Amino acid sequence: MSKRFKEIRFNLVAWLIAGNMFVIFRFFGMYDFEQYFILKKPIEMELMFLEANVVAVVNGLLLSLVDILLDTPKLKRESFRYILTIKSIAYIVTMFISIVSIFVLHGIITGRDNNLLYSLNYTLASQYTIALYLYGAFISLLINFLKEVNKKFGPGILVKLFSGKYYNPRVEDRIFMFIDLKASTTIAEKLGHIRYSRLIQDCFYDVTDVVAKYKAEIYQYVGDEIVLTWELEKGIENDNCFRFFFEFKKKIEALCGYYSDKYGVVPVFKAGMNCGTVTVAEIGELKKEIAYHGDVLNTASRIQDQCNQYNKPFLISNNLYKKMPRTGFFKMDLIGEMMLKGKLNPVAIYSVESVR
């Protein structure tokens, strides 16, 4: 399922829930149980729910369109506060226009109002419209805030924290990839602290779309290194964990002009991968996060350290080699068995190259 489709689905579901809750908050409880059936006919409530759902679907689709229009590389590079402010303003303005337009058209179509101007005045003066708009403005701000916070935690992490899935440690089979900037020390000395940090920011912004496309999760940013993880099945499905690295590499190469003009260097990344069983747990109180514990991560990091020694951009462990399907899209060659720091037994390492 594509990232864009998930965003549209989230907007629609959130607004449908909000729309139906509005009808409940607005009308249920105005009368006691017996009076409700006397004063409100079921058909009237069905119409109210229908109207609320129409408004919800229109708002969900329009705000999804706002997301698409504002999903630009320039805006992504702005601060969290700036993005939240711009999107919130766009949401509230769009929602106001959509609500007013729907009610004006409804008044004209049903014959309640004589003309467009009268219908507009009636809609703007209606307490029901005002209540709906204020409620909608609050929901818009809440949805926007939750989506931006979800991005800051990482896709799916906020849901896992809310659900308490990892409150008690559990065991999972996962793939881990450590990606590091090649010749980072030399580049840092050349650019200086500020420009080097800007370079890393740009690189990590460019990795975002590739992460979602190949079902990866960003576990950590450590200096100029990114740690990614997949559930084992998702990682080997359609060679996702391999395709991610080469797609990211291709994206950086496509932006070589941008990086060369801005920084005088084109970043090159190297990666090491491993898979196996890890323990997953929710840790921290003031700053909560999902943490993975196990030798699998240490081994993946040590494998990535070998990239420079063997002049290979992408190395994997024997464990992952045995799990990956042979689709013919990638060539895996044995580099050899070697002792990695902290390991008691030698580990077989393979290089990976794209053949198509």
The closest alpha carbon to 174, from 294, 272, 269, 342, belongs to 294
Query: Distance between CA 204 and CA 76 in Å, rounded?
Result: 11
Please give the pLDDT value at position 111: 62
> Rounded to two decimals, what is the model's pTM?
0.72
pLDDT one-digit tens code per residue, 270-303:
999 999 999 988 777 666 677 889 899 999 999 9
Give the count of beta carbons closer than 10 Å to the beta carbon of residue 182. Answer: 14
Domain over 157-354 is classified CATH 3.40.50.1000? no
Q: Does pLDDT of 101 surpass 50?
A: yes
Percentage above 90 pLDDT, the chain = 33
The closest alpha carbon to 40, from 23, 18, 21, belongs to 23
Q: If DSSP codes are grouped into helix, strand and coil, which group holds residue 297?
A: helix
Domain boundaries, given as residue ranges, for the chain: 3-153, 157-354
pLDDT one-digit tens code per residue, 11-22:
888 888 888 888
42, with CB counted inside 10 A (0-12, 13-18, 19+), is exposed
